[in-house]
Homo-oligomer: A and B are copies of this chain.
Amino acid sequence: MAQEKPDPSVFDADCSARDALELIASKWSILILSALAEEEMRNSALLRRIDGISQKMLTQTLRELERNGLVLRQDMQTIPPHVRYRLSALGLSLSQALIPLDRWAEHNFPALDQAKAAYDLRD
């Protein structure tokens, strides 16, 4: 009888766990969260820390992260502008879940490169 009781799952397109996954599964989100996990930063510091990000994508992604309660934005209301970004408790917990991933990427990219080279060589 317990027929219609699927656990909330990322495998389910309608479950908002999938939305959560899509938010996380973004290069820029991961990099911003990892950067802010090191220390709180201003816009310009993030721009410098995250090589290759454009101002547009930085602002856009920060807004999404703020909207989802992962990043806190503190506008000092000064001129010239001074805005601080830092992780919320929720954002911090996510950044911790991302540590194994970052480490995996930094540790295993040579194996990926090697696999790619081998794959592209064979016919």
Contacts and interface: CB of A to CB of B under 8 A. Distances in A.
Interface of A: 7-27, 29-31, 34-35, 49-52, 66-70, 90, 93-94, 96-98, 100-106, 108-116, 118-120
Total copies of the chain:
2
Contacts of A9: 106
B68 A116 contact: yes
Nearest to A63: B119
Given A16-B110, A70-B112, 13 more contacts: A8-B106, A9-B106, A11-B51, A13-B52, A16-B109, A18-B27, A20-B104, A21-B30, A24-B104, A25-B25, A68-B116, A69-B119, A94-B104
A27 B16 contact: no
